[in-house]
């Protein structure tokens, strides 16, 4: 995986430092050259971590909204993906206002970001959740060395992190911390809001499923909405045979009823299991010896 940006060619003088508020408002904060250089080093460290992860574990996987994410995991999204809509706006937003009263906005601050430019004029946006940055503000007992003497720091103090949670170039989003990406970009709200649009695509392949019952349920249940987003993104509803699907529902004890016009209505009691099945998360195991049974995959990746 490559970065559509020369990370070693980022010019500190062109770096912009900004903050994002809880309502996703962005603002630029004036900084001196030393801070800009530190931001460049953070971005370089982040790309080194992503590259190391790729060397160890293979190419990054595409971010999957139904996966349970924890820790570092290199995932990507192209900027034209609907799931990258908020990140795309963070990267492309122009005419951002300047924030001159940072201390007054701290309670509203959700993340901070650096915006970089290389010699070819390409842009890179790097974003970090602001927990550590704000965490040192009210700490007491911070010391600084003046000559040979330690002195207590009375001024308000901020601390940059060692790396960013994600990098955004002009082609795609490179995610190091998927959980932070989901929080910063408010993915749960976005995925819930995308239920009708995702169903528009899915029902083209399974028109025999009662759309309204699925939409009502998924609009109220974030986990179900995530399965729908994943089913659409991965194309799991394509080439689904109705008879085979009904046989699978019977095998997995998914409650359904069929209307007079042949539309399949899934019971709310088993709707989540039905969506898990479409999202390729239910499977049967057993090889003649040892335990047999039905299982649920909490994580999965396509091998062919």
pLDDT digit string (tens) for 26-65?
Answer: 999 999 999 999 999 999 999 999 999 999 999 999 999 9
Tokens coding 55: 């060397």
Specify whether the CB–CB gap between 217 and 268 falls below 8 A: yes
Instruction: Report the pLDDT averaged over residues 128-147.
Output: 62
For residue range 210-225, list pLDDT tens digits in order. 999 999 999 999 999 9
Domain that holds residue 284: 191-296
- Please name the residue that has the structure tokens 């559509």: 4
Angle formed at CA 146 by CA 142 and CA 147, multiple of 5 degrees:
145
- DSSP letter string over 200-256? HHHTTT-TTB-HHHHHHHHHH-HHHHHHHHHHHHHTTTTT--HHHHHHHHHHTT--E
If asked whether residues 282 and 251 sit together in one domain, one would say yes
If asked whether residues 117 and 197 sit together in one domain, one would say no
Number of compact structural domains in the chain? 2
If asked whether residues 13 and 93 sit together in one domain, one would say yes
d(CA 255, CA 166): 42
If asked whether residues 225 and 172 sit together in one domain, one would say no
d(CA 294, CA 249): 13
pLDDT confidence tier of residue 140, bands split at 50, 70 and 90 = low
pLDDT confidence tier of residue 303, bands split at 50, 70 and 90 = low
Q: Give 62's strand partners.
A: 76
Residue 129: per-residue pLDDT: 93
User: Considering only 136-140, 165-169, 178-182, 272-276, which range has the smallest mean pLDDT?
Assistant: 136-140
If asked whether residues 166 and 218 sit together in one domain, one would say no
If asked whether residues 69 and 174 sit together in one domain, one would say yes
Q: How many CB atoms lie within 10 A of CB 133?
A: 18
Residue 294: per-residue pLDDT: 77
- Please name the residue that has the structure tokens 């070819």: 120
Residues 6+ positions from 17 with CB-CB distance below 8 Å: 28, 29, 31, 35, 36, 39, 112, 113, 114
Residue that finishes a domain, picked among 155, 185, 215: 185
Please state the pTM of the whole predicted model.
0.86
If asked whether residues 18 and 155 sit together in one domain, one would say yes
Given a cut of 60, whether residue 172 has pLDDT beyond it is: yes
């Amino acid at each position: 995986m490559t970065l559509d940006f020369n990370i070693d060619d980022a010019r500190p003088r062109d770096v912009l430092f900004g903050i994002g508020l809880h309502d996703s408002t962005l603002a630029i904060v004036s900084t001196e050259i030393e801070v800009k250089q530190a931001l460049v080093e953070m971005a370089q460290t982040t790309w080194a971590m992503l590259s190391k992860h790729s060397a160890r574990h293979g190419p990054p996987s595409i971010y999957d909204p139904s996966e349970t994410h924890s820790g570092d995991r290199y995932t990507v999204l192209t900027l034209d993906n609907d799931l990258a809509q908020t990140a795309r706006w963070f990267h492309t937003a122009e005419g951002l206002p300047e924030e001159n009263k940072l201390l007054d906005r701290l309670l509203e601050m959700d993340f901070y970001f650096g915006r970089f430019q290389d010699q070819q004029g390409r842009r890179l946006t790097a974003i970090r959740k602001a927990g550590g940055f704000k965490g040192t503000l009210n700490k007491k007992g911070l010391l600084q060395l003046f000559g040979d003497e330690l002195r207590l720091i009375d001024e308000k103090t901020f601390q940059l992190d060692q790396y960013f949670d994600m990098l955004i170039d002009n082609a795609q989003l490179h995610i190091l911390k998927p959980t932070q990406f989901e929080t910063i970009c408010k993915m749960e709200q976005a995925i819930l809001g995308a239920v009708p649009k995702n169903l528009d695509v899915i029902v083209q392949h399974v028109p025999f499923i009662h759309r309204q019952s699925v939409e009502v349920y998924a609009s109220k249940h974030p986990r179900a909405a995530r399965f729908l987003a994943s089913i659409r993104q991965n194309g799991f509803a394509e080439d689904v045979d109705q008879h085979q699907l009904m046989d699978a529902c019977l095998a997995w004890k998914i409650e359904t009823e069929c209307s007079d016009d042949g539309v399949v209505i899934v019971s709310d009691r088993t709707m989540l299991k039905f969506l898990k099945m479409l999202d390729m998360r239910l499977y049967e195991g057993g090889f003649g010896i040892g335990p047999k049974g039905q299982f649920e995959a909490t994580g999965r990746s396509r091998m062919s």
